[in-house]
Chain A
């Protein structure tokens, strides 16, 4: 700790940290643009100028840039000195010379860092009388608007996009006052983390395009803390509502999980909440096959009738723990199925088994960024758990950070660290089915079928510690990958092994566990990250079910009643089995938010609330329970699924389900021994701050309250009272001292933009004040087991059978593979067409080439062909969730034939 004197007042600061960060951590106000906690300092904007004095006698001082100056003990600086203030005012005046008169029609207005800094610097009147420089804009795809006139040349966009996210198609062009930030030519921004530019850009050059279509100012948005439902990473989000529609999703800082950034699936994948296919009423199928609308009471009664004499319950990895628990209690453990496909369910059990052995640390995303060697075994993380890929990308920088440290370069000195580190990178080894986007960073890659990747994994563990059994013989390239991986990982201090469920192969998970355990036994701090598919896959896995999905469906086919919770089972089980279950079951009750193939076949449909209209808990890949809060009240008869289920339980004469309040359900969840931590994931409904206030969902300048509803009724409705959570449905209450799990929006006086998040952190870029939200539930002490003998390689046949048919393997697309986000318009627009990947030899045999089409009669689907040299014969890889496919590939081999009538879609996406 160093002591620094700022304008005569002493503050504690970290020695070596940059002065700007120290000043902001001390909650002082100093304007800045180009610095960002995750992007470091480059000293480009000259906005954070302060005066530094040599000693007590020095009254003149000299002007320095706070972001480029390391803190030293006894340092004397002034933010308020007239010279520093004048300098900052001049800088902002120069920056504003060419700034267009756009604020009223700019989506950044009201949460604009440039507006805030202009006000903070005291620049109020324009003195420049010359003409303004202008630029042409570019079309950048369905996610972002581009408005280059507003640029202040801080370079944050390219530094984020290229250096942090690894994008290549956004560059800085031109020189002098004509700097241009854009693509070489107009077109879709390719990087799947491009949406963060909305929050990274301090002004309105990059703005949220879907949000702009029905734009609302930040001060008019009603928001609540939430958790992304897009994948198993569980990034913290702030979804916002106005006029009953979900308008946008912004990042909610969590120092342990997502930090400052989200992926584009998370940011733009919420559109289904506003979809026309939303179910709002209770429907019961009449004799003629059409749904009749019935009242909520009748619906409860009917659901009660269905479950009274016992029913099979199918839960869901995309429903909250609370709803899954309600179903589990309603139908009983022996009739409850997690809703994961049978294959995935087995893998989830395996993952929990691995984690509960406690053999290796389960890393948070922040810890992934700190790993100094990473092995990815089989999982295409960019497409299945995207935010993990962004964290892995940062881990590769650790080598250059270490070099910088040795050379005495402060780590925030971005340009210095990068030029000193140059090509050096921490090792990243990627073993995957197909080449992945992370391969460009990898020191060694290896492609193969899941079984051979698993064999490679077992071989690595064996090389690290011969007590771990090796698998079958490996071919040359794989053997060299194994040798390299073993050498690299055993040298590392914080190695990390990543795998997951997406290839539906247990060998990969076992091999990953063996490697991590073998590394741990060598004494290093090994991490093991196993991803699942959906937001609550891990949660339902921990809740556990008595039967798997196929067994449940067979029981339904044999005449059991069926209750399906927020789950399109047609995506997860064999279509014939699902069809026989629906036709054989006495009654099929479905609770869901959107119409889908399962609700089509139901006899009773009940409208369930989405994440935005309900409060509940998701458990992410690391076993972190995180609460999401209702953003706005559901309309009509829509209710959280647990409420329907508990009411139906009460109607069916159950005495243990009289839950009125979500906290009661949370308590019931927490009574499960594995899920005790759920109760502490966020404060319960009774929480109030020190002054006895709730946390407001709406900012204090929320407008239009006496007119919003006046078109319907001049008499203003009573403000809705929130019975469930510590948040209020208005601006009443107070922000500031709430626990981080209740941060419904970030704002601080003078800081209207999301940069104000530092006011809620312990130190800039650190944990949230009061600790990062969420409770980790899977951290276990190493169990007394023989780790080396726990998982043994299996001998599985690899290769073609020579009958000309194909074994299908799954791959995923960040856009389109996930069920709900795939139904959001911008995501659907960005997603690829259904595709199939064939080996070069097989493509030649079928006489198809890249871009042509093949048909699969068994799946009744057509795919665009992609050819991948390395793919073995007899294998074909299809993208899940696209072109009518669900989340599972058929286990039987299928035939493929060229489709001469296939018309490739035009690649041009509609402009505008």
Chain B
């Protein structure tokens, strides 16, 4: 008897507490920028593809759902010829983002990845690449790396001395 009354009391008490239920999808929940949802490929501050096709995301991926192929542009930049994520396998663990040395691959707060056809869960580069820098507005890998590309010659990257004149022994 006492226990039933206590249960009724508990239920009654909850009528006056704050409601945690969100009226999704009419009402969208707040998700932090670091939320691990749908993966995107971002661009440099200057608008070029950030991904250099180094394959570190693919090797970090515990479910092996990333496949890509490196190729090279005329100006010397490496980029992926294709970049494919199979979201039907992805577990949103964020290891690819952690592995990415160029901040190209980033997880976003978008979690709405539902499809009637599993084939639509396969995202190619054109589906992944966004027109923005994502969470890291200033980083440009090519201005840190030592490899020369058009517009950034040897010695012009951050923290670099001008190229050595091999034909001189002067200090």
Chain A residues with CB under 8 Å of chain B are 100-106, 109-110, 130-137, 147, 149-150, 173-175, 178, 180, 182, 212-217, 219-220, 243, 701-708, 710-711, 714
Contact = CB atoms under 8 A, between A and B. Distances in A.
B56 A710 contact: no
Contacts of B121: 714
B145 A214 contact: no
Interface in B83-128: 84-86, 88-89, 101-102, 118-119, 121-122, 124
Nearest to B161: A131
A547 B161 CA distance: 71
Interface in B56-80: 56, 58-59, 61, 63-72, 78
B89 A706 contact: yes
Given A180-B166, A714-B118, A104 B54 contact: yes
Contacts of A134: 146, 154-155, 160-164
Given A134-B146, A708-B67, 17 more contacts: A101-B144, A102-B145, A103-B54, A105-B78, A134-B161, A136-B154, A173-B167, A174-B169, A175-B169, A213-B71, A214-B70, A215-B78, A703-B59, A704-B65, A707-B86, A710-B86, A711-B124
A663 B89 CA distance: 39
For A130, A702, A707, which residue has the most chain B Cβ atoms within 10 angstroms? Answer: A707
Nearest to B53: A215
A110 B89 CA distance: 25
B136 interface: no
B164 A100 contact: no
Contacts of B61: 703-704
A706 B63 contact: yes
- Interface range on chain B: under 10, 10 to 19, 20 to 34, or 35 or more? 35 or more
A137 B149 CA distance: 12
Contacts of B135: none
8 contacts: A101-B146, A133-B164, A135-B166, A174-B169, A216-B55, A216-B69, A703-B64, A705-B64
A364 B155 CA distance: 49
Given A706-B86, A714-B118, A104 B67 contact: no
B59 A219 contact: yes
Given A100-B145, A101-B145, A704 B67 contact: yes
A182 B164 CA distance: 13
Contacts of B65: 704, 706-707, 710
A105 B76 CA distance: 10
Nearest to A106: B147
A710 to B, nearest CB: 4
A28 B46 CA distance: 49
Contacts of B56: 104
Given A178-B164, A243-B69, A704-B58, A105 B52 contact: yes
B14 interface: no
Given A101-B145, A714-B122, A132 B161 contact: yes
Given A134-B164, A711-B82, A714-B118, A706 B64 contact: yes
Given A101-B144, A101-B145, A102-B147, A707 B166 contact: no
A137 B76 CA distance: 13
What 10 A-B pairs have minimum CB-CB distances, sorted nearest first? A100-B146, A704-B67, A104-B54, A707-B67, A703-B58, A149-B146, A710-B86, A707-B86, A705-B64, A180-B166
B159 interface: yes
Nearest to A715: B118
Contacts of A243: 69
Interface in B138-155: 141, 144-148, 154-155
A105 B54 contact: yes
B82 A174 contact: no
A710 B159 contact: no
**Which of A137, A173, A216, A705 has most B Cβ within 10 Å?**
A705
Contacts, number: 140
A585 B66 CA distance: 54
Contacts of A135: 154, 163-164, 166
A243 B71 CA distance: 14
Nearest to B122: A710
A147 B147 contact: yes
B166 A174 contact: yes
Contacts of B119: 714
A108 to B, nearest CB: 12
Contact of A102 (B63, B102, B146, B169): B146
Contacts of A220: 55, 58-59
A173 B55 CA distance: 35
B44 to A, nearest CB: 14
A719 to B, nearest CB: 12
Given A104-B56, A178-B164, A710 B84 contact: yes
A732 to B, nearest CB: 14
Nearest to B71: A214
A113 B145 CA distance: 20
B66 A707 contact: yes
A168 B89 CA distance: 54
A714 B102 contact: no
A103 B68 CA distance: 17
Contacts of A180: 164, 166
B66 A703 contact: yes
A300 to B, nearest CB: 36
A707 B161 contact: no
A714 B66 CA distance: 13
Contacts of B161: 131-134
B88 A714 contact: yes
A104 B59 contact: no
A707 B145 contact: no
A132 B159 contact: yes
A703 B55 contact: yes
A706 B87 CA distance: 10
A175 B168 CA distance: 9
B72 A213 contact: yes
Contact of B84 (A101, A174, A707): A707
A255 B64 CA distance: 37
Most buried by A among B84, B154, B164: B164
B55 A217 contact: yes
B160 A214 contact: no
B15 to A, nearest CB: 48
Contacts of A131: 159-161
Contacts of A150: 146
Nearest to B82: A711
Contact of B64 (A132, A214, A707): A707
A131 B158 CA distance: 8
A216 B70 CA distance: 7
A847 B61 CA distance: 69
Contact of A104 (B52, B68, B155, B159): B52
Interface in B13-57: 52-56
A700 to B, nearest CB: 11
Contacts of A174: 164, 166, 169
A123 B167 CA distance: 33
A128 to B, nearest CB: 10
Contacts of B145: 100-102, 104-105
Nearest to B55: A217
Interface string B6-17: 000000000000
A708 B84 CA distance: 8
Nearest to A245: B69
A704 B144 contact: no
A137, A702, A706, A710: which has the most chain B beta carbons within 10 Å? Answer: A710
B168 to A, nearest CB: 8
A180 B52 CA distance: 27
Nearest to A704: B67
Given A104-B102, A133-B161, A149-B154, A711 B84 contact: yes
Nearest to B144: A101
A137 B167 CA distance: 14
A103 B88 contact: no
Contacts of B64: 702-707
A150 to B, nearest CB: 7
A271 B145 CA distance: 31
Contacts of B163: 134-136
